Amino acid sequence: MQADVTPRLLADIGGTNARFAIEVGPQQFEQVQVFACNAYPDLRSAILAYLSLVQQNTLSSIRITDAAIAIANPVIGDIVSMTNHHWSFSIQELKRSLQLNTLLVVNDFTALAMALPHLRPQEKVQIGGGTVQPAKVIGLLGAGTGLGVSGIIPCGQRWIPLCSEGGHVTYSPVDKLETRILERIWRDFPHVSAERLISGMGIELLYRVLAELGEVQLDTPLTAAEISQRALDGGCALSHQTMSLFCAMLGTVAGNLAMTLGAGGGIYIGGGIVPRLGEFFVQSAFRQRFEAKGRFSAFLAQIPTFLITAQYPAFLGVAAILDEHLRDQTLCP
Find out if CATH 3.30.420.40 is the number for domain 8-107+312-331.
Answer: yes
**Is 322 in contact with 105 (CB distance < 8 Å)?**
no
Encode pLDDT of 212-244 as tens digits: 999 999 988 899 999 999 999 998 999 999 999
**In angstroms, what CA-CA distances link 247 with 113, 142, 250, 301, 322?**
21, 11, 5, 18, 34
Q: Read off the pLDDT of residues 44-66 as tens digits, 9 standing for 90 and up.
A: 999 999 999 999 988 777 889 99
What is the rounded average pLDDT for all residues in the chain?
93
What number of other Cβ atoms are within 10 A of residue 16's Cβ? Answer: 16
The domains of the chain are located at 8-107+312-331, 120-309
- pLDDT, one tens digit per residue, over 3-31 is 445 799 999 998 889 999 999 998 899 99
* CATH class for the region spanning 120-309: alpha beta
Across the range 100-114, mean pLDDT stands at: 93
Taking the CA atoms of the chain, what radius of gyration do you get in angstroms? 21
Q: What does the alpha-carbon distance between residue 310 and residue 275 come to, in Å, rounded to a whole number?
A: 9
Helix, strand, coil fractions of the chain, as percent rounded to 5 = 45, 25, 35
